[in-house]
Amino acid sequence: MKNKYLFGGAIIVVFFGVMIYLFTQTNVQYESSFMKVMESGKTVKATGSWIKEKNYEIDKEKNIFSFYMKDEQGNVMKVTYHGTMPNNFESSTSVVVTGKYQQGIFHATDILTKCPSKYQEQPVQNANT
């Protein structure tokens, strides 16, 4: 009878240990400063805007999409993504990339774009003018 309780307790302890380990491994931080992104060495979410003047590159053979983005302080970082360009990338106002900074390039595993809202308040025209 005691063996059942010991075995059940051991399973619970192992389960909680695995859950804690997985939680610490998937905890991704948002960084608005590319300097912190470059120093961290961890998987992070970096926020910035696409530098339209530098355009973007698509390598169809290797399925790599790359572009340059800048943060609020004006720091510039090259981003590469193994996948296709997001549909609304060219009209985006800001970009959030998830990945790691290695060897001078941010290697993104995910790209989220924010587009201008079509529901922004429009100025009201006076009917008496």
Q: Tell me the per-residue pLDDT of 23-69, one tens digit each, with 9 for 90 and over.
A: 766 666 666 678 888 887 788 888 899 998 888 999 989 999 999 99
Q: Tell me the CATH number at 59.
A: 2.40.50.140
- Whether the pLDDT of residue 1 is over 80: the answer is no
Reading the block at residue 52, the tokens are: 């339209």
Question: Is-above-0.75 flag for pTM?
Answer: no
Q: What's the domain range around 29? A: 24-114
The answer to whether residue 18 is domain-embedded is no
The answer to whether residue 10 is domain-embedded is no
**Total domain count for the chain?**
1
At residue 128, the pLDDT reads 59
The answer to whether residue 29 is domain-embedded is yes
Q: Lowest mean pLDDT of 42-46, 71-75, 76-80, 114-118, name the range.
A: 114-118
At residue 107, the pLDDT reads 93
- Whether the pLDDT of residue 82 is over 70: the answer is yes
The answer to whether residue 8 is domain-embedded is no
Which amino acid, 6?
Answer: L
Q: How confident is the model at residue 125 (pLDDT cuts 50, 70, 90)?
A: low
CA–CA dist 20, 85 (Å, integer)? 35
Total count of residues recorded for the chain: 129
The answer to whether residue 33 is domain-embedded is yes
Phi, psi of 81 (to 5 degrees): -140, 125
The answer to whether residue 77 is domain-embedded is yes
CB-CB neighbours of 69 under 10 Å: 23
The answer to whether residue 89 is domain-embedded is yes
Who's near 93: CB < 8 A, 6+ residues apart?
A: 49, 114, 115, 116
